[in-house]
Chain A
């Protein structure tokens, strides 16, 4: 079963607007990651935030993590048409031999 649940399932915005995507999870984590997938292609790692971090930035990406609420958000600022893709959160749970558990993904469409 999926650990991460993204919200919304789909998001459509105008180029230049900000896109906010949310992820909730259930168990304790070492870190939470966001991946991007262009249509039919492999996933690409975007950003990782550790459980002891609250916010992280990478270019136009800003990720927050609230471990008390077991939730994370991914903000893409000044969106571009090229940001159109599916976005997945993935949690790396605590414990030996941990591995990633992916959510079902959010489809982002950025209209030019």
Chain B
């Protein structure tokens, strides 16, 4: 969905490096999410934010941090990357103003940690 963009789309990094994945949205949604996807494990929630001043840990937040710089921007950082953080990362947004939690996903960032 072009309304939710992620940069970079692909990233190779080394163990111990700090990296940042960025997400921007033009949908005007308050809620933003970061997920990781691993083969056979589906989507797992890392962090989520219901508005600019709200940050919440998800299912697997250890080793990650986030920053909600503005309504439209939500960044995910890996403080010290490790190989088992190799995965496909997705940002998503939703608007509870519609009365239902339908999420809109970015195209994903494929991360490889060597």
Q: Which residues of A contact B (CB under 8 A)?
A: 1-2, 30-31, 33, 35, 40-45, 48, 50, 88, 90, 92, 97-105
The closest CB in chain B to the CB of A5 belongs to: B42
What residues of A have a CB within 8 angstroms of the CB of B35 in the complex?
A: 102
Task: Name the CB-closest residue of B to A41.
Answer: B107
Chain A nearest CB from B46 CB (Å) reads 12
**A-B CB pair tally, cutoff 8 Å:** 58
Say yes or no: A100-B100 contact (C-beta < 8 A), given A42-B1, A42-B4, A88-B42.
no
CB-CB under 8 A from A1, the residues of chain B are 59
Interface of chain B, main secondary structure? strand
Which B residues are CB-close (under 8 A) to A105?
A: 42
| Residue pair A98, B50 in contact (C-beta under 8 Å) | no
Q: Which of B33, B43, B45, B50 is close to A88, meaning CB atoms less than 8 Å apart?
A: B43
* B42 contacts A104, C-beta separation under 8 Å: yes
Q: Indicate which residue in A2, A41, A45, A101 contacts B108 across the interface (CB closer than 8 Å).
A: A41
Alpha-carbon distance between A18 and B33 when the two chains are bound, in angstroms: 34
With a cutoff of 8 Å between Cβ atoms, the chain B residues found around residue A101 in the complex are 45
Q: A88-B42, A99-B45, A104-B42 are known contacts. Are A45 and B101 too (CB-CB below 8 A)?
A: no
CB neighbours of A103 from chain B (8 A): 42
Q: How far is the CA of A92 from the CA of B110 in the complex (A)?
A: 27
Contacts A42-B92, A97-B50, A100-B103 known; 10 new A-B pairs at CB < 8 A: A1-B59, A33-B101, A35-B103, A42-B1, A42-B108, A43-B92, A45-B103, A45-B104, A88-B43, A98-B101
